[in-house]
């Protein structure tokens, strides 16, 4: 084959791969939406599940998902932002930062089922929290911590050095410089990280099912067990309880993830635009 023909063939294959990938994404989203939307209604979103979820709605699982996500963010956000500030503003590359980075990278690679096992043995059993929002939230917090650290670190690194210099020249202490010059400028990036972390918490099943439980009741306190939407979807599908309700729950899950992604990518776009203007 001539060079030109080889290139045309190769580029054809690459185009095909890209289109195919988009098509698969469209198929997954489309299928769940098409089969799920007809059984979606306000009653489904606000109703209580009956017969293990065969009838009724999914309100308690929506509450469970949101509460569990918020609890995990409440714990992971200060830890993650603090960690990122320390790594970027308070220290230079050293053995210590390498160790901390190793910890973050490794934690990011730990599979969710391992988090589930750990949360079960440590929070649920050893610390006697039982299957609860607290145990599930703590487990999820550790899981999303690397996401928040990384995105915050990247956001802080995009803040121009001149901001820091100006702040120092006005007599600011390091902490004043961080809070008045660095953090406000890095805020969209940090929020993006938090939103993506919430998305991970919403999608998670393996780490949640062994730590927060599968109870279908509305939680009364952080010590109550909950069932998230993803866990509910899994149980409906695997135990063959109701395919119709599974599709409907799946549609709610997809819409939630879509909203989260749209917010996150619009924030990123704004961030990029801001950088270009500089």
Site residues (CB under 8 A) for other proteins, limited to 247-266: 250, 253-254, 257-258, 260-262, 264-265
The only residue of 62, 85, 197, 212 in contact with other proteins, by rule CB under 8 A: 85
User: Please, how many CA atoms are within 13 Å of residue 51, restricted to the half-sphere of its CB?
Assistant: 7
The nearer residue to other proteins, 57 or 116, going by C-beta atoms, is 116
Report, in Å, the least distance between residue 183 CB and other proteins.
13
Judged by CB under 8 A, the residue of 39, 158, 180, 185 near other proteins is 158
Report d(CA 227, CA 212) in Å as an integer: 7
187 belongs to the binding site for other proteins (CB under 8 A): no
Member of 59, 66, 86, 222 binding other proteins (CB under 8 A): 86
What are the backbone dihedrals phi and psi of residue 36, each rounded to the nearest 5 degrees, phi first? -95, -35
Return the number of other C-beta atoms located less than 10 Å from residue 22's C-beta. Answer: 10
Question: CB–CB of 89/161 below 8 Å?
Answer: no
Q: Between β-strands 49-50 and 55-56, what pairing exists: parallel, antiparallel or unpaired?
A: antiparallel
CB of 48 to other proteins, least distance (A): 22
Q: Is 174 in the site for other proteins (CB under 8 A)?
A: yes
Tell the smallest beta-carbon distance from residue 166 to other proteins (Å): 19
Among positions 45, 54, 74, 105, the unique one binding other proteins when judged by CB under 8 A: 105
* Residue 154 sits in the site that holds other proteins (CB under 8 A): yes
Task: Rule CB under 8 A: say whether 108 interacts with other proteins.
Answer: yes
User: By CB under 8 A, is residue 3 in contact with other proteins?
Assistant: yes
CA distance 39 to 35: 8
Q: Is 78 left (phi over 0), alpha (psi -120 to 50) or beta?
A: alpha
145 binds other proteins per the rule CB under 8 A:
yes
Counting contacts by CB under 8 A, is residue 210 touching other proteins?
A: yes
Give the count of residues interacting with other proteins (CB under 8 A): 92
**Is 216 an interacting residue with respect to other proteins (CB under 8 A)?**
no
DSSP string over 17-40: HHHHHHHHHHHHHHHHHHHHGGG-
- CA 44 vs. chain centroid, Å, equals 25
d(Cα 19, Cα 52) in Å, to the nearest integer?
40
């Amino acid at each position: 084959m001539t060079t030109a023909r080889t290139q045309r063939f190769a580029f054809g294959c690459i185009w095909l791969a890209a289109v195919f990938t988009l098509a698969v994404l469209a198929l997954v989203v489309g299928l769940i939406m098409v089969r799920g939307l007809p059984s979606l209604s306000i009653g489904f979103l606000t109703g209580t599940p009956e017969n293990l979820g065969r009838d009724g709605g999914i309100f308690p699982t929506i509450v469970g998902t949101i509460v569990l996500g918020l609890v995990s963010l409440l714990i992971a956000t200060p830890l993650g932002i603090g960690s990122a500030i320390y790594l970027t503003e308070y220290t230079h590359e050293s053995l210590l930062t390498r160790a901390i980075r190793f910890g973050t990278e490794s934690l990011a690679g730990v599979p969710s089922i391992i988090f589930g096992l750990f949360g079960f043995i440590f929070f649920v059993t050893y610390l006697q929290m039982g299957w609860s929002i607290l145990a599930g939230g703590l487990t999820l917090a550790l899981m999303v911590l690397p996401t928040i650290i990384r995105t915050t670190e990247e956001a802080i690194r995009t803040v121009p050095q001149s901001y820091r210099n100006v702040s120092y020249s006005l007599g600011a202490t390091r902490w004043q410089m961080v809070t008045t010059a660095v953090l406000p400028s890095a805020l969209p990036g940090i929020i993006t990280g938090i939103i993506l972390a919430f998305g991970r918490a919403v999608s998670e099943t393996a780490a949640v099912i062994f730590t927060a439980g599968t109870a279908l009741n509305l939680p009364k306190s952080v010590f109550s067990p909950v069932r998230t939407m993803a866990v509910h979807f899994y149980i409906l599908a695997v135990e063959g309880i109701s395919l119709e309700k599974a599709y409907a729950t799946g549609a709610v899950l997809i819409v939630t993830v879509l909203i989260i992604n749209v917010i996150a990518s619009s924030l990123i776009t704004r961030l990029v635009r801001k950088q270009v203007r500089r």
